[in-house]
Structure 1
Amino acid sequence: MSQLLAKTIAAIKPLDKTAMEKAATRQDILTKPQGALGRLEEISIRLAGIQGKAIPVIKTKAVITMAGDHGVVAEKVGNYPQEVTPQMVLNFVRGGAAINVIARQIGARVVVVNMGVAGDLPADIRVVDKRVARGTGNIARGPAMTEAQAIQSIEAGIEVVNAEIDKGLDIVGTGDMGIGNTTPSAAICAVMSGQSVDKVTGRGTGLSDEQLQHKIKVIEKAIAVNKPDAKNGIDVLSKIGGFEIGGIAGVILGAAARGVPVVVDGFISGAGALIAEALAPQAREYMFLGHLSVEPGHRIMADKLGLKPIVTLDLRLGEGTGAAFGIFIAETSARILAEMATFGEAGVSEKAE
């Protein structure tokens, strides 16, 4: 394991229990019945533990959208050509994608990262260039990448989130773009959860029944060909993963090491979260699950990570859209804890005589 990755993992500490206790105590004296705000209370208390502050603060927000291509598209596992990946990257940069719209509404910046787009991008666009290679290998025929490339992709994510934290960042969401990326994500889910491929594989961009069965067979072949070790996150990523999945894992690890909460998006981000958790189980405490995707494997990922979705909106877009909604609700929970009056401040009787 390289120095940056090892140092980052070592820096991930348990949550601040004292801050969490103080946050819980304040929640119980706000002008409401105890527990009346449900999971908003739970989220604010965990935010306190992550930030090490009795009253957490969320002002500066970002969604980091990782883009990469996949050699497995040669197996015809989807309905869109690989050319869509660089086209959508340009759409992100121009502000025309769904994530841009939602991010503007919640006041978050969108950081677009080229982790391994196969096509060419203009040299002057606002994209962070961390390209490991021009797309991964075809996992149905061999490994997605080398072990060195897997580590490089994770460290790229760490470097990106560290740069954003240095600019000012209270919470970060993960996002993705990459034609064919539900295939490696399903493979990672199956291997790391121990579930069968048919249980974790969904229709992605809208596959027919026949196409879905073909996709399942391709994933089963990829696992059989590569034989990834479920207990070794680097091995799983290198054999059946993607550069953007590694980048997402790096964002999670890097944020956790710096005490920044991470809102995980959908199925592809979930694959990155599984890799991150395999490398540093403590990182799970820094994760929130923004939403529950309609991809069947996403619930299995959530259960494996022990995370409950903040919202369920039947999303299956990626980009960081579900993470953005989660960021909004996390900020709301922090503001309630900070700004809502206590019984004493409001002059309201706390309990009936």
Structure 2
Amino acid sequence: MSVDGWNTVLVLGGIRSGKSEFAESLVTDAPVVRYVATAPEGDPEDTEWATRLAAHRARRPGSWTTEETTEDPRRLADVLASAEPNEMVLVDDLGGWVTVLLDPDHQPADDVATIAELAEAIRGCAARVVLVSPEVGLSLVPTTPLGRAFTDALGAANRAVADACDAVVLVVAGQPVWLKSAATATEPSAPATMTAPTAAASATVRSLADAEPTPEVQLPDVLTHTPPAIPTQEPGNAWAAPTMALPMVSTGLVIQPGMELPMPDEYAGPQAVDRLTTLDVPGAGLGVLDRVVGFAAATQGTPTPAAWGSVRVLLLHGDHAGGAAAGTVAGESARRAAQARAGQGALARLAAESGASLQVVDTPASAPIEDEPALAPEQVESALRYGWRLAEQAADAGVQLLVLGACGAGTEAAAAAVLAATAGAEPPAVLGRVITDSGEIDDAAWMIRCAAVRDALHRTRRSSRGAKDILAELGGGDVAVATGVLLGATARRVPVLLDGPVGLAAGMVSRDLAGQARHWCLLADHGGHPAVRLAADVLGLTPLLDLRMDLGEGANALVALPLLRSVLALSAALPVHPSLGGPDDTDPSYADEPESTDPSYADPDLTEPDSTEPDFAEPEPAGPGPASTEADEQPATGWRAG
């Protein structure tokens, strides 16, 4: 199983469902594709069938190689066994393969054995494999013996191949529905781990602390993603693969400016905040934290949002070369990443306290931005898709909230360069002070960083300021992956808790790709960082806290997470205030007399009007009027007296 979720996938679908087009979209970006055609040529006078075959051939790029197995169905297993790790094999389809298998020219044949051989070949194939097959399980039982033999054999083949594949998708009317997702398929002994690719096979990786954890705090589940350094060389790795995002794969689109992604519920948020004013809480209620309730309500689509249960921390690790990394100790970021993988350090301990999983993601190293582009354009495309898949995998695993952090040399300077290019900021105004390990301020290193950003902006003064151009020229690998995470999380309606310059820089870039992404982001604390302050102001994200902690990206968010969860749990559990019709728990007669006999409690629409009812009288004011000079006994702040 590959790091991005699958090495082998079975694409099922009915006639004209779009299954072949969907399968072809999965291999679009692969440089080496072996197309295996299984359908026989058929009757030469059947022009309609010939037209179908011609349409299939016309869709194949000229760089693909085509092989046929119509002469011998058993050859399909040999093709899979001989495939190289750098190849992508597309088999279209198993219906034609079974047709040839049952052909009288190939009888007598052991159909069961041949299907078993195919399943074993899929399991042992070193290349990535996409197989297409008609779904016959929803059709009626054929009325002819030959028809029943075909459906029985194809059904058996589909079941065997589905069991052998990492993932299975059903295409209905052009819309893919994933029946078997490899993102959540893990070893029984390590249910929370992701997987990382190797040259010939895959292995489950789980990093735990070398020492035994303390009884009070258990180490978090640590998930690791380690892509190769050059993402475009090997089509079998996570970087070169196409995204599995449903609205994009089915149409063959790529991540591009102007995408239409979902927006949070525009009504649930205000309704949730209005509901807070009716709850049985003293004083002015939740204060500024009511924004947390409104955000959670909008992203969950309900006026009574629940506290986030499953939380995943994505720690992006990628260094920037050149002057952007001035003042950092060589190898320090790698040590921090290794520490997090081992379940140690501040971030891992905070994740354990919060019950959050921690996923360490290595991003490609970025070149010196003052001299050359940080990334190649093809690397940017791969990094965006990779970040999108990280968010998809989290959503498939049931994650309800993503926490985005980063650790890497030069990340602050790269974020400052992105802000200067997108918001017109001056680098010295958004570059934080450089603090050494001994706690001293290193002004010389700060000036080198400013000069690097200045030179990078001068070098790119005539370059396009499009989102992908900024990522390639200035942002680098970590900002590109973070941007993909924000877009993928938006597509899957998963909120993101931002923390640090990298996440905010990604938010600035994502505006040109999908303006909806910022509405799914929440900023717990600005951490005293000037770049975060400016980006948050541009994006319309108001920090909830002002702790000014500096434990590294992601740590501030995890410190605030228990508080945010408590606020959501409290708002969901508290009843309505008794003065507004809620229950009065202090009245012992309330439980004994749930229904009053007083006619005033009856529904006015169900009672007869009382002819003896006295004339209406204007009630006396309960407090001073607007022109009164008497002292106001009501509190100056708050919506209700405590």
Give the TM-score normalised by structure 2.
Answer: 0.49
Partner of 1:132: none
The equivalent of 2:298 in structure 1 is 49
Q: In structure 2, how many angstroms separate the alpha carbons of the residues matched to 1:293 and 1:107? A: 23
Identity %: 26
Tell me by how many angstroms 1:32 deviates: 2.5
Paired residue type of 1:38: G
Q: CA deviation at 1:326?
A: 3.9
Which residue in 2 is equivalent to 1:60? Answer: 310
Give the counterpart of 1:145 among 372, 375, 380.
375
Q: CA deviation at 1:330?
A: 3.0
Is the contact between residue 434 and residue 445 of structure 2 (CA under 8 Å) also seen in structure 1?
Answer: no
Structure 1 pair 339–4 and aligned structure 2 pair: CA distance change class (3 A): farther
SS at match of 1:143: coil
> Which of 113, 117, 134 matches 2:361?
113
Structure 1 match to 2:267: 18
CA spacing shift, 1:228–1:98, aligned 2, 3 Å: farther
Comparing both chains, which one has the higher relative contact order based on Cα–Cα distances under 8 Å and sequence gaps of 6 or more?
A: 1
> In 2, are the aligned partners of 1:263 and 1:326 still within 8 Å (CA)?
no
1:284 aligns with one of 482, 504, 518: 518
Going from structure 1 to structure 2, the CA distance change for 1:221 and 1:7 (only over 3 Å counts) comes to closer
Q: Aligned residue for 1:183? A: 413
Structure 2: distance between partners of 1:290 and 1:45: 14
| Deviation of the 1:160 alpha carbon | 0.7
Question: Is residue 452 of structure 2 the alignment partner of residue 202 of structure 1?
Answer: no
1:351 deviates by 7.1
- 1:81-106 Cα offsets, whole Å, 9 max, x none, are 1x223222210011112111111111
Alignment of 1:187-336 (within 5 A): 187-206=417-436, 207-227=441-461, 231-336=465-570
Spell out, residue by residue over 1:253-311, the C-alpha distance to the aligned partner (whole angstroms, 9 max, x if none): 11122111111001222112211223222211111112112332221111111111122
Alpha-carbon distance, 1:168 to partner: 0.8
CA distance in 2, matches of 1:114, 1:8: 28
Report the residue type matching 2:402 in the other structure. V
Q: In 1, distance between residues paired with 2:281 and 2:569? A: 15
| CA–CA separation in structure 1 for the residues paired with 2:463 and 2:557 | 29
**SS state at 2:267 partner:** helix
Amino acid in structure 2 at the alignment position of 1:249? T
Count residues in correspondence. 331
Q: TM-score scaled to structure 1, two decimals?
A: 0.86
Deviation of the 1:246 alpha carbon: 1.2
Residue in 2 aligned with 1:86? 334
Task: Give the direction of change, closer, same or farther, for the CA distance of 1:252–1:35 in structure 2 (3 Å limit).
Answer: farther
SS in 2 for 1:277: helix
Partner of 1:32: 281
CA contact (8 A) 2:289 2:544 kept: no
Q: Give 1:96's aligned amino acid.
A: Q
Partner SS for 1:242: helix
**Is residue 242 of structure 2 the alignment partner of residue 5 of structure 1?**
no
Alpha-carbon distance in structure 2 between the residues aligned to 1:210 and 1:32: 53
- Relative to structure 1, is the Cα distance of residues 76 and 262 closer, same or farther in structure 2, using a 3 angstrom cutoff? closer
Q: Which amino acid aligns with 1:272?
A: A
Per-residue CA distance 1:156-208 (angstroms, 9 max, x = gap): 11101110111111111101011121111111122212121111112244452
Structure having the higher helix fraction is: 1
Query: 240-249 vs 292-301, which deviates more?
Result: 292-301
Counterpart residue number, 1:170: 400
Q: Deviations over 1:102-137 (max 9, x none)?
A: 111111111111112xxxxxxxxxxxxxxxxxx111
Q: Which residue of 1 aligns with 2:347?
A: 99
1:142 positional shift? 0.9
Q: Which letter does structure 2 place at the counterpart of 1:93?
A: R
The CA distance in 2 between the partners of 1:62 and 1:3, in whole Å, is 28
AA aligned opposite 1:151: E
The residue identity in structure 2 corresponding to 1:97 is G
Whether the aligned pair in 2 keeps the contact of 1:79 and 1:205 (CA below 8 Å) is: no
Aligned partner of residue 309 in structure 2, secondary structure: coil
- Measured in 2, the distance between the counterparts of 1:220 and 1:299 equals 20
| Native 8 Å contact 1:232 1:279 kept in 2 | no
Unaligned runs of 5+ in 1: 117-134
Structure 1 vs Structure 2 CA RMSD: 2.6
